[in-house]
Amino acid sequence: MKKKTENRDAIKHIQCSLRTIEKVAYQTYRLSFVSEHLARCARPGQFVHVNVGGGLSLRRPFSIHKIKGNEVFLLFRVVGRGTRRLKEYHRGDTLDILGPLGNGFRFHEAHKYSHVFLVAGGMGVAPLVFLSQKIAQGTGRSLVDAHVCVGVKTKKDLIAKSDFPRQFKIYTASDDGTIGIKGSVIDALEKKLIQVKDKNPRIKIYACGPKPMFAECARLLKQYPFCDCEVSFEQFMGCGIGVCLGCVIDTHDGYKRVCKDGPVFDLKSIF
């Protein structure tokens, strides 16, 4: 019995046929491919390591954005050579993938809290859609009060909003005020925390975004001690499977590998 679960979770090197790819915002694309293995085993917060070809020397890590049946979605922003290549893929092309990788969010814990907040800065929205799906599945009785805070530069960057299940109330913040409140996603989150803080809440925050956002989250955690927070970190990677020790970040417990010990960490173990 035990063996079976081990195999189920196994990291596999798989070739998948690309099913869809579309531009969803400025320099931002969503693609999908079919993988029974990933659809069955992947947990939210886990990622895949993609060999985009073209003579590049290393794979590129992308979070699993959402899963629909056997179809696995990635959401990515074009920032350099690898992502520029990836956006040129077409339906039917083969994607060379290692996965699922990393630990993932502890989504089963969501129902233990009175409120859950998913906090996305920029492309950080990618893994949170999959997470929201899993939380919604596990809490059909709507045990939790579920919220998403999304921060974008400007209105046009807002993506994936309609992908969050109905249970989730969505708040947006934009740098230029073209949508939601004018300010950062942390401002949006803090506004909500202030509203609920006298109701004796127990709050779980799941966050993904740029590093400065995590520092801000850490500040909120000190100010609102009824919050726990898990964050998904990024680091430059080599192997993606824990052998090269290239992807470490500094934690209170020493260097930890983002690809194997993470990418999800308890925020308190970092700040």
Ligand X SMILES: Cc1cc2nc3c(=O)[nH]c(=O)nc-3n(C[C@H](O)[C@H](O)[C@H](O)COP(=O)(O)OP(=O)(O)OC[C@H]3O[C@@H](n4cnc5c(N)ncnc54)[C@H](O)[C@@H]3O)c2cc1C
Ligand Y SMILES: Cc1cc2nc3c(=O)[nH]c(=O)nc-3n(C[C@H](O)[C@H](O)[C@H](O)COP(=O)(O)O)c2cc1C
CA pair distance 68, 222, nearest whole angstrom: 38
- 118: tokens are 């998913």
Place of tokens 């492309």: 123
Helix, strand, coil shares of the chain, percent, nearest 5, are 30, 35, 35
CB nearer ligand X, residue 195 or residue 266:
266
CB 230 within 8 A of CB 262: no
Which of these segments, 107-115, 124-132, 134-142, 238-246, binds ligand Y (CB under 6 A)?
238-246
Which of these segments, 20-28, 114-122, 137-145, 229-237, binds another protein (CB under 8 A)?
229-237
DSSP assignments along 200-263, one per residue:
---EEEEEES-HHHHHHHHHHHHHSTTEEEEEE-----SSSSSSS--SEEEETTEEEETTTT-S
Question: Strand, helix or coil at 122?
Answer: helix
Question: Shortest approach of ligand Y to residue 237 CB, angstroms?
Answer: 11
String marking each residue 96-135 x if it binds ligand X according to CB under 6 A? ---------------------------x--x---------
Q: Is 201 in the site for ligand Y (CB under 6 A)?
A: no
Which of these segments, 15-23, 64-72, 222-230, 236-244, binds ligand FES (CB under 6 A)?
236-244
String marking each residue 246-265 x if it binds ligand Y according to CB under 6 A? x-------------------
Question: Shortest approach of ligand Y to residue 83 CB, angstroms?
Answer: 23
Which of these segments, 36-44, 69-77, 133-141, 167-175, binds ligand X (CB under 6 A)?
69-77
Candidate residues 8, 23, 54, 56; the one interacting with another protein per rule CB under 8 A: 56
End-to-end alpha carbon distance in the chain? 39
Give the count of beta carbons closer than 10 Å to the beta carbon of residue 28: 22
In one-letter notation, the amino acid at residue 133 is Q
Q: Is 60 in the site for ligand X (CB under 6 A)?
A: yes
CA pair distance 206, 242, nearest whole angstrom: 24
Candidate residues 245, 252, 253, 255; the one interacting with ligand FES per rule CB under 6 A: 245
Question: Shortest approach of ligand X to residue 65 CB, angstroms?
Answer: 6
Q: Is 87 in the site for ligand X (CB under 6 A)?
A: no
Question: Shortest approach of ligand X to residue 49 CB, angstroms?
Answer: 9
| Binders of ligand Y in range 53-112 (CB under 6 A) | none
